[in-house]
Amino acid sequence: MASQRGEGETTTTPAEAADKERARAIPEAAVARLAVYLRVLSGMSESGVTAVSSEELSQAAGVNAAKLRKDLSYIGSYGTRGVGYDVEVLVSHIERILGLTRNHSVAVVGIGNLGHALANYGGFPGRGFPVTALFDVDADLVGIPVGGIPVNHIDEITAICREREVSIGVIATPPPAAQSVCDRLVSAGVQCILNFAPVVLQVPDNVEVRKVDLAVEMQILSFHVARRADEAASVSVGNNGLGVDGMVIRP
């Protein structure tokens, strides 16, 4: 899985080496936000904006300006005091930190409702995540192209993932199949998995899993609805001020 970018004798520039050392120290939460900043900056760049202040960028990204500056400081000092940041410079530095200077081949497993949507989605290839393989267990689906890629049978997963150097596996199968699919991806050398099935996957330490769980998202929203409803109720009815165990909740 070495670098596939062959320019120059050395594989990394000094700036890259510096970035990479820094990468270790970037908080997980900041990484997620950097991805958002990158999208906002890309949009600005396309609109012809060349410079931006932390205040403007933080507004557009929906975060605190101080937090944004701290996040950017994790990747280095590329701003100009009194002026702001050069959009292009920031874009290229964030891209490098996020490892977007190389493409990450994506495989989608489970070409049902969700798998179809993902395979058809045009937003990934343009951002460095080409979908290069689709898998399903259903014989009727095998061979049919979805979003331009033919569906392969799940049994071919190891060979094809190796061959196409898949680095991200997306699981969109029913929950009972998810763990087995995950195991197959892992044994095919895939080290990153994005899981849509509402199942907790067991993986070795060297594999990174992120889950997208819509039911959980909705339940969190539900929790906030309930909390809000309570607040309204206790305000209108009158709060006796006593929680359980005599804890005083509100003044």
Look at strands 131-136 and 105-109 and give their pairing: parallel
Q: Looking at residues 91 to 110 of the shown chain, list those that interact with a copy of itself (rule: CB under 8 A).
A: 92, 97-100, 104, 106
Q: Looking at residues 48 to 107 of the shown chain, list those that interact with DNA (rule: CB under 7 A).
A: 53-55, 63-67, 69-70, 72-73, 77-85
84 binds, among a copy of itself, DNA, ligand NAD, none (CB under 5 to 8 A by kind): DNA
Work out whether 110 is an interface residue with ligand NAD (CB under 6 A): yes
Residues 206-245 as x/- pattern, contact with DNA by CB under 7 A = ----------------------------------------
Q: Binding ligand NAD by CB under 6 A: which of 44, 61, 111, 185? A: 111
**Minimal distance, residue 6 CB to a copy of itself, in Å:** 13
Report the residue number, 95 or 137, with the smaller CB distance to a copy of itself.
95
Work out whether 223 is an interface residue with ligand NAD (CB under 6 A): no
CA–CA separation, 75 vs 92, rounded Å?
A: 11
Specify the 3-state DSSP secondary structure of 236: helix
Q: Looking at residues 23 to 82 of the shown chain, list those that interact with a copy of itself (rule: CB under 8 A).
A: 23-24, 26, 28, 31-32, 35-36, 38-40, 60-62, 76-78
- 30-35, long-range: CB within 8 Å, 24+ apart, which pairs? 30/70, 30/71, 30/74, 31/98, 33/61, 33/63, 33/67, 33/68, 33/71, 34/71, 34/75, 34/94, 34/97, 34/98, 35/98
**Minimal distance, residue 64 CB to DNA, in Å:** 4
**Minimal distance, residue 148 CB to DNA, in Å:** 38
CA–CA separation, 177 vs 77, rounded Å?
A: 46
Q: Which stretch binds ligand NAD (CB under 6 A): 62-70, 96-104, 176-184, 235-243?
A: 176-184
CA–CA separation, 179 vs 202, rounded Å?
A: 7
β-pair partners for 106? 131, 168
**b vs e for 213-237, b when ≥16 Cβ sit within 10 Å of the residue's Cβ?**
eeeeeeeeeeeeeeeeeeeeeeeee
Specify the 3-state DSSP secondary structure of 81: coil
Residues that bind DNA (CB under 7 A): 1, 27-30, 53-55, 63-67, 69-70, 72-73, 77-85
